[in-house]
């Protein structure tokens, strides 16, 4: 609209000036009259030129919308999107086309926005009907989209001639004629040579025939060396170079002319140098075979790697020859479109950073501010906002942003053929990928509470975040209370990092994923790793060391170039090799594990890595087991990074460069020492740029479930013991362990303070035979199990030995017990597997019926017990007391409330508990301190 206003304004001013000059000729001098007329004419001409420009632009934009509808009718969304992005128009037709595009893509949110805009634009009834029809198209309904697009195309505001031209253009791009079917000659009309060549270029690019595109574009430049045509040629060259198509001088030779052989000569020279390097490497291979010792082998291998690196450089120079020449050929064009094409050429030469810098530089230029092309300036501004906007830039992963990038990157040409090319797509993907955040800037790899309230937190992350903490810039809170803290770098300066890249070379990595991986590894090796030693391990069905630890990064690069995808996925094999490589190394050691598939895992290898302090960062994409990779990272203090595709690998590895070897130890003293649960520590750096929250608990986690399950016999009379010893010559007790950790991890067993021999049963690691050196004395005997990791477990009264009582019925307060009983000789009565009920009045039902699967003991007066036992009948143990038990407390069928299948009152595993009985109540106290897991130290009294 502004353009039209200015055009009309200038026209009016011009006419006014002309009229002033003519009408005031009598009052003005001749010179002034002429001046007014000339000024008027100039302004009118300017206004007219602007008006014509605006008219052309309007027609052009209508053509873009029309072409977009043509592509939508064919179900081709990419091209339709590109044509729609070329136009700034927000009329009904364009907005309707945008809505259909998003419906076809299934982007409901954006489609909704377009539909609302469309409804706001409709004024007349017919427009509202049309909008209603278009808005009613369902997501993904191709037929409805096609019908709607055809209808909109019919109602397009393009004139007949412009429509025919657009139809012909569409036909040239796709081979499909959507024009008047009764006028096929319209399609075959003779085109001007330049137009024919331009269409040929578009067709070639559309078909992926990049070499043909270059040839056609070269002819076009020969015919009309305008800036646009030269840029088109450079774009075609970029596409060819990126795709690896072979170009030579004949592509650029005009008809009837000899090709310029300077490029050929340069290429031949490079080829000669490459050949020489290959020959030298072959000689080194022979020398390697006959190498006398390891040192010489290493020297020769290093030399070969350097030669190979140089060869690669020369090969790249050769491959990029025409791209460099294309850059030179457009050096004199200073338009924004030229900047875009230069960025494309940089990208084609794999100089990605420079390509992005080119775009950012263009975005910040004065040209960008003054450019009349809003789509171009908007695109460049969007790039700049994405890279420099920080948290103010959102939606960088949206289709809208990506479409804008594709439109920007293909703006060097009038057609959309460039938009669908692999270079444009890859460049757009890279820009989107650059905005993604891979890996956390700050994360916790461990917390030490052994000296609580002093807490030690091990943090890892980006060097900047670590340095901020060391410099005291940040905040630490423990369970909502801010605390004073100190941080220091864990790895001393000068400590060398040892890195092992473990990569998946299974069959699924074939093709593009492997190419992306190789590229990522090569760039990783080329980045600043602070002198780290690097190595490469591959795995498919087995693991293999592709490159040993070396300070020379070219060795990793060389090994990466030789990677081949084949076989299955065996992550454990890869990690085992990494352990072998890094196990011998000193310094801070890190593994970067990458996989695109699923695999079983031997956690033992991971535990070994963790035990050796080797950090494993994991990278996954594709059909990976996210939980598995997260588990490996968590177990070793690393991070798991998930990528959407292999194209992001380079950015992922690049982000990891900033994380390796940065560790900080942070200490503080917690103020609140009472709260056991719900505790956490929160750390933030600087102005809150990075933060981490770690939850922890002060409660003892307890054992891992290992230990005593049952001892048999555990309840014997001294007489029985003597008899067995006399008969068998030895005393054997069977120990059943919980099926958590087997007997192979036991280093010692004691019973009653004496070491006993123990042998696990064959084929049963959880059943152990204990051979007692002598008959145990009367009393309760503690079973002590010592494990190979240092844990010591004690089970008091695991074995009860005493004199058998005749009585089997007892009463304590209102508790009634039925059990086999022993007098242990240490002042206690022991009851085996007692049955418990209430002593209630006749006619009243007992509230419960319980049984203990285990033993109960009660301190007693032994003399009184013996006397009561001799008297017979139910033994009265007093009005109240507390029985101590170990085992499980179960409800019996016949209980007041339960007849079957009731869960055990003490949980599913044996534990310590107490039974308190009085005349008024019976209570069970569970959760008493469990049978003593100690470090073996006997407390001094």
Partner 1 sequence: MERFRRNKGPLLLPVLCLAAALLIYLVVNSLWGAASVARQLSLGQQYLTDMNYNAAILAFNNAIRTDPVSKEAHIGLAKAYAGTGEYQFAGQMLEDLNQGPVPDEEISDTLIDIYTDAGEWERVIRLIRELIDSTDRDEYYDLLQQVLAAYFDQPHSYGVGTDQRLVLKNGQVLSAGSNSLGQLGVALAAAPEQPEAQPLADAGFNGTAARVWCAGRTSLALDEAGNLWAAGENRWGQMGLAYADGTTRTGWTCLTDTGDVAAAAGTTGHLLVLRTDGSLWQSGSETGGQLEPVSRFATVIQLESSGETVWLLSADGGLYTSNAGDPYTWTRVAEDVLRFGLGPDGGAVWLASDGGIGSNRYSVEQPEDWTALESGRMQPDFAVRQLAQSESGLLLTDAAGTLYLAAGGQCAPVSTASPVETLYRQGEGVVLELRTGEVQYWADGDTAPAPLA
Output 44 or 751, the one with its CB closest to partner 1.
44
Q: How far is the CB of 60 from partner 1 (least distance, A)?
A: 17
Output 840 or 870, the one with its CB closest to partner 1.
840
Q: How far is the CB of 854 from partner 1 (least distance, A)?
A: 15
Q: How far is the CB of 247 from partner 1 (least distance, A)?
A: 36
Which positions ≥6 away from 613 have C-beta within 8 Å? 589
Tokens of 778: 């009367």
**Among 380, 530, 398, residue whose Cα is nearest residue 105:** 398
Distance CA(657)–CA(664), nearest Å, equals 17
Which positions ≥6 away from 94 have C-beta within 8 Å? 61, 65, 68, 84, 87
Q: What is the largest CA-CA distance in the chain?
A: 154
**Among 215, 141, 169, residue whose Cα is nearest residue 68:** 169
Output 27 or 584, the one with its CB closest to partner 1.
27
Core vs surface per residue 351-360: b (16+ CB within 10 A) or e:
bbeebbebbb
Output 370 or 611, the one with its CB closest to partner 1.
370
CB 338 within 8 A of CB 227: yes
What is the distance between the terminal CA atoms of the chain, rounded to a whole angstrom?
A: 96
Q: Measured between alpha carbons, how far is residue 732 from residues 707, 729, 768 in Å? A: 19, 10, 10
**Among 214, 222, 217, 212, residue whose Cα is nearest residue 254:** 222
CB 204 within 8 A of CB 212: yes
Core vs surface per residue 509-530: b (16+ CB within 10 A) or e:
beeebbebbbbbbbbbbeeebe
Distance CA(596)–CA(602), nearest Å, equals 18
**Among 876, 888, 806, 800, residue whose Cα is nearest residue 851:** 888
CB 819 within 8 A of CB 808: yes
Output 17 or 661, the one with its CB closest to partner 1.
17
Residue 305: helix, strand or coil by DSSP? helix
**Among 138, 64, 55, 130, residue whose Cα is nearest residue 92:** 130
Output 120 or 486, the one with its CB closest to partner 1.
120
Q: How far is the CB of 222 from partner 1 (least distance, A)?
A: 34
Distance CA(821)–CA(833), nearest Å, equals 10
Burial (CB < 10 A; 0-12, 13-18, 19+), residue 721, is: buried
Output 354 or 436, the one with its CB closest to partner 1.
436
Q: Which pairs count as long-range contacts for 33-41, CB under 8 Å and 24+ apart, including other chains?
A: 39/14, 40/13, 40/14, 40/15, 40/16, 41/14, 41/17
Output 108 or 278, the one with its CB closest to partner 1.
108
Instruction: Give the number of other CB atoms < 10 A from CB of residue 199.
Output: 18
CB 401 within 8 A of CB 432: yes
Q: How far is the CB of 394 from partner 1 (least distance, A)?
A: 5
Output 377 or 647, the one with its CB closest to partner 1.
377
Q: How far is the CB of 849 from partner 1 (least distance, A)?
A: 10
Burial (CB < 10 A; 0-12, 13-18, 19+), residue 484, is: exposed
Output 661 or 813, the one with its CB closest to partner 1.
813
Instruction: Give the number of other CB atoms < 10 A from CB of residue 174.
Output: 17
Q: How far is the CB of 847 from partner 1 (least distance, A)?
A: 4
Residue found by looking up tokens 């470090």 in the block: 935
Output 7 or 466, the one with its CB closest to partner 1.
7
Q: How far is the CB of 132 from partner 1 (least distance, A)?
A: 17
Tokens of 167: 């139809």
Q: Measured between alpha carbons, how far is residue 537 from residues 196, 522, 592, 800 in Å? A: 54, 14, 10, 58
Output 87 or 569, the one with its CB closest to partner 1.
87
Output 614 or 628, the one with its CB closest to partner 1.
628
Q: Hey, which bits of 646-730 come out as E strands?
A: 663-669, 679-685, 690-696, 708-712, 715-717
Output 118 or 791, the one with its CB closest to partner 1.
118
Output 565 or 850, the one with its CB closest to partner 1.
850
Output 181 or 688, the one with its CB closest to partner 1.
688
Output 391 or 450, the one with its CB closest to partner 1.
391
Q: How far is the CB of 926 from partner 1 (least distance, A)?
A: 5
Q: How far is the CB of 694 from partner 1 (least distance, A)?
A: 11
Q: How far is the CB of 903 from partner 1 (least distance, A)?
A: 6
Q: How far is the CB of 9 from partner 1 (least distance, A)?
A: 9
Q: How far is the CB of 34 from partner 1 (least distance, A)?
A: 7
**Among 369, 368, 372, 367, residue whose Cα is nearest residue 6:** 372
Q: How far is the CB of 585 from partner 1 (least distance, A)?
A: 32
Q: How far is the CB of 36 from partner 1 (least distance, A)?
A: 7
Which positions ≥6 away from 740 have C-beta within 8 Å? 704, 705, 706, 707
Q: Beta partners for 708? A: 737
Q: How far is the CB of 391 from partner 1 (least distance, A)?
A: 6
Q: How far is the CB of 688 from partner 1 (least distance, A)?
A: 7
CB 325 within 8 A of CB 219: no
Output 379 or 752, the one with its CB closest to partner 1.
379
Q: How far is the CB of 25 from partner 1 (least distance, A)?
A: 13
């Amino acid at each position: 609209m502004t353009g039209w206003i200015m055009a009309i304004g200038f026209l009016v001013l011009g006419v006014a000036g002309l009229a002033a000059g003519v009408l005031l000729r009598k009052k003005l001098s001749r010179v002034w009259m002429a001046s007014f007329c000339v000024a008027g004419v100039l302004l009118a001409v300017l206004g007219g030129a602007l008006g014509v420009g605006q008219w052309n632009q309007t027609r052009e934009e209508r053509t873009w919308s029309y072409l977009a509808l043509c592509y939508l009718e064919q179900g081709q969304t990419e091209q339709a999107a590109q044509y729609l992005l070329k136009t700034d128009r927000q009329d009904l037709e364009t907005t309707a086309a945008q809505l259909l595009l998003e419906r076809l893509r299934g982007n409901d949110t954006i489609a909704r926005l377009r539909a609302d805009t469309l409804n706001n634009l409709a004024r007349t009834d017919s427009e509202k009907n049309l909008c209603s029809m278009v808005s009613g198209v369902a997501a993904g309904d191709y037929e409805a989209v096609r019908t709607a697009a055809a209808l909109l195309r019919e109602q397009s505001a393009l004139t007949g001639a412009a429509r025919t031209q657009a139809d012909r253009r569409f036909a040239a791009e796709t081979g499909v004629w959507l024009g008047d079917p009764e006028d096929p000659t319209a399609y075959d009309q003779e085109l001007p040579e330049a137009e024919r060549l331009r269409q040929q270029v578009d067709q070639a690019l559309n078909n992926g025939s990049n070499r043909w595109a270059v040839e056609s574009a070269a002819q076009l430049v020969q015919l009309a060396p305008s800036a646009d045509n030269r840029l088109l040629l450079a774009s075609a060259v970029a596409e060819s170079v990126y795709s690896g198509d072979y170009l030579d001088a004949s592509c650029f030779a005009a008809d009837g002319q000899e090709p310029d052989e300077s490029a050929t000569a340069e290429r031949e020279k490079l080829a000669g140098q490459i050949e020489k390097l290959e020959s030298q490497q072959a000689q080194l291979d022979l020398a390697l075979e006959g190498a006398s010792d390891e040192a010489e082998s290493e020297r020769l291998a290093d030399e070969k790697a350097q030669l190979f690196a140089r060869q690669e450089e020369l090969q790249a120079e050769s491959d990029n020859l025409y791209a460099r020449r294309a850059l030179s050929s457009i050096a004199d064009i200073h338009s924004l479109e030229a900047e875009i094409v230069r960025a494309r050429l940089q990208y084609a030469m794999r100089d990605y950073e420079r390509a992005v810098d080119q775009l950012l530089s263009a975005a910040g230029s004065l040209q960008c501010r003054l450019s009349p092309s809003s789509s171009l300036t908007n695109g460049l501004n969007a790039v700049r906002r994405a890279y420099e906007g920080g948290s103010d830039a959102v939606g960088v992963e949206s289709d809208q942003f990506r479409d804008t990038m594709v439109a920007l990157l293909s703006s060097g040409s009038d057609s959309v053929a460039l938009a669908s090319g692999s270079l444009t797509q890859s460049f757009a993907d890279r820009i989107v990928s650059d905005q993604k955040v891979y890996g956390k800037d700050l994360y916790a790899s461990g917390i030490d509470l052994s000296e609580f309230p002093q807490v030690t937190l091990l943090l890892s992350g980006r060097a900047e975040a670590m340095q901020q903490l060391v410099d005291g810039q940040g905040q630490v809170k423990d369970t909502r209370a801010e605390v004073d803290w100190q941080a220091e770098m864990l790895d001393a300066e000068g400590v060398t990092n040892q890195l092992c890249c473990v990569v998946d070379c299974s069959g699924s990595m074939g093709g593009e994923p492997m190419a992306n991986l190789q590229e990522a590894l090569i760039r990783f090796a080329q980045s600043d790793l602070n002198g780290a030693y690097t190595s490469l391990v591959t795995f498919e069905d087995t693991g293999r060391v592709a490159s040993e630890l070396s300070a020379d990064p070219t060795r990793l690069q060389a090994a990466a170039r030789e990677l081949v995808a084949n076989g299955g996925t065996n992550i454990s094999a890869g990690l085992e090799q990494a352990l072998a490589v890094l196990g011998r190394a000193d310094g801070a050691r890190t593994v970067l594990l990458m996989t695109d598939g699923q695999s079983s895992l031997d956690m033992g290898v991971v535990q070994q890595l963790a035990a050796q302090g080797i950090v494993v960062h994991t990278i996954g994409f594709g059909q990976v087991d996210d939980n598995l990779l997260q588990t490996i990272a968590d177990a070793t203090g690393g991070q798991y990074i998930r990528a959407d595709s292999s194209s992001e690998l380079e950015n992922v590895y690049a982000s990891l460069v900033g994380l390796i070897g940065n560790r900080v130890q942070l200490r503080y003293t917690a103020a609140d020492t009472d709260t056991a649960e719900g505790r956490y520590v929160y750390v933030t750096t600087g102005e809150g740029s990075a933060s981490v929250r770690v939850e922890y608990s002060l409660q003892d986690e307890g054992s891992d479930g290992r230990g005593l399950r049952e001892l048999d016999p555990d309840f014997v009379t001294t007489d029985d013991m003597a008899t067995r010893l006399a008969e068998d010559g030895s005393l054997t007790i069977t120990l059943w362990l919980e099926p958590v950790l087997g007997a192979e991890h036991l280093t010692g067993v004691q019973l009653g303070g004496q070491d006993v021999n123990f042998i696990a049963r064959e084929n049963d690691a959880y059943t152990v035979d204990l051979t007692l050196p002598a008959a145990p004395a009367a009393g309760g005997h503690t079973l002590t199990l010592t494990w190979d990791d240092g844990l010591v477990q004690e089970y008091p009264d695991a074995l009860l030995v005493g004199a058998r009582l005749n009585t089997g019925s007892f009463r304590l307060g209102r508790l009634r017990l039925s059990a086999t009983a022993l007098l242990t000789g240490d002042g206690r009565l022991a009851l085996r597997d007692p049955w418990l009920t209430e002593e209630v009045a006749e006619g009243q039902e007992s509230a419960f019926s319980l049984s203990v699967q285990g033993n109960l003991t009660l301190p007693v007066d032994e003399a009184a017990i013996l006397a009561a036992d001799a008297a017979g009948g139910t033994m009265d143990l007093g009005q109240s007391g507390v029985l101590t038990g170990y085992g499980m407390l179960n409800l019996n069928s016949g209980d007041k409330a339960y007849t079957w299948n009731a869960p055990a009152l003490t949980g599913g595993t044996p534990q310590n508990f107490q039974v308190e009985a009085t005349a008024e109540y019976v209570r069970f106290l569970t959760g008493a301190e469990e049978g003593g897991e100690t470090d073996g130290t006997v407390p001094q009294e």
